[in-house]
Amino acid sequence: MAKLFEPLSIRGMELKNRIVMSPMCMYSCMERDGMVTDWHKVHYPARAVGQVGLIIVEATAVAPEGRISPEDLGIWSDAHIAGLKELVRLVHGQGAKIGIQLAHAGRKAGIDGTIYAPSAVPFPNMKTPEAMNPEQIARTVDNFVAAAGRAAEAGFDCLEIHAAHGYLINQFLSPLVNRRTDEYGGDARNRYRLLKQVIGGVRRVWQGPLFVRISAEEYHPDGNHIEDYVGFAAWMKEDGVDLIDVSSGAVVPYEINPYPGYQVPYAERIRRSVDIPVGAVGLITEPAQAEQILHEGQADLIFLGRELLRDPYWPRRAARELGFPLEGPRQYRRGWL
């Protein structure tokens, strides 16, 4: 049997295969209110019809000032629950599991008004953020916790905390951005403190699978590298995280020259060093490539991003190439045979 189509259980969530739709911003809340739109109701269920096992909804802001763009999805208000619940219903109706990524952009928030970060250090060509005081940090933790409670009410199967790509939690983790001299800055333990508090707070209201996305390499000599993230991952495991979604970069500008599977070695290193399930992501496009990653024990789940934008039915292609008898949706069987 192809490992790509083997089921996997994570804290009671039963996945029918190892194919995950990676969270990708859709910039489709044109009213700028963070509400689920018709676009979302078509976009995500289409991948469930295509037989993706787990779909993770795009970076969804836990606070309005934490949006990457004004058109981002939101989960900062109870008013968002109804639309998210409908999205969950539609994806479940097509046989897939669904998660949501909880996010705060920090200094990379592309919105009007004040933006916030661990220190008043701007991302190049963006406005200077305000350094967060302890009360603002505590309020941000509360925002993540409240968002997790709303996600539970909406019926999501898993949560992912966005601690990658240079957004707020990643900014606290990184010595390139975090210049604080209080309990949230300095050594690795202090820089991890915000993520630890978010994980602990979320775990009080969320009993299901909990993922964290990380940037395991910051591509700067003074930044975090895989050795640092092995340590962070060990702490995450102790704090109740079930899976690490391993990405890289975007803390500071850097010209990456990606190649197929270029981030997979980071996932493998964390999996073998920490003994925690990991997801591999980054230029994974071919079924044989995904199958090899799983067979060699480099990852437990395969996260596909742009490839699923190009081909919502990528699992069908993978099944054909790997010789797996994938049963398509009833309505499509005459075309999938």
**Is residue 1 over pLDDT 80?**
no
Give me the residue spans of the domains in the chain. 3-325
pLDDT of residue 193: 98
Kindly tell me if the per-residue pLDDT of 200 is higher than 80: yes
Contacts of 113 (CB under 8 A, 6+ apart): 65
Residues 28-49 have a mean pLDDT of: 98
**Listed residue (130, 111, 5) closest to 65, CA to CA:** 111
Give the tens place of pLDDT for each residue, 289-316.
Answer: 999 999 999 999 999 999 999 999 999 9
Closest Cα partner for 304 from 8, 293, 295? 293
The answer to whether 161 and 102 are in contact (CB under 8 A) is: yes
- Residues contacting 237, CB < 8 A, separation 6+: 274, 275, 276
Write out pLDDT tens, residues 161-190. Answer: 999 999 999 999 999 999 999 999 999 999
pLDDT in tens, 226-269: 999 999 999 999 999 999 999 999 999 998 889 999 999 999 99
- Is 337 a residue whose pLDDT tops 80? no
Superfamily assignment of 3-325 in CATH?
Aldolase class I (3.20.20.70)
pLDDT band at 328 (very low <50, low <70, confident <90, very high): confident
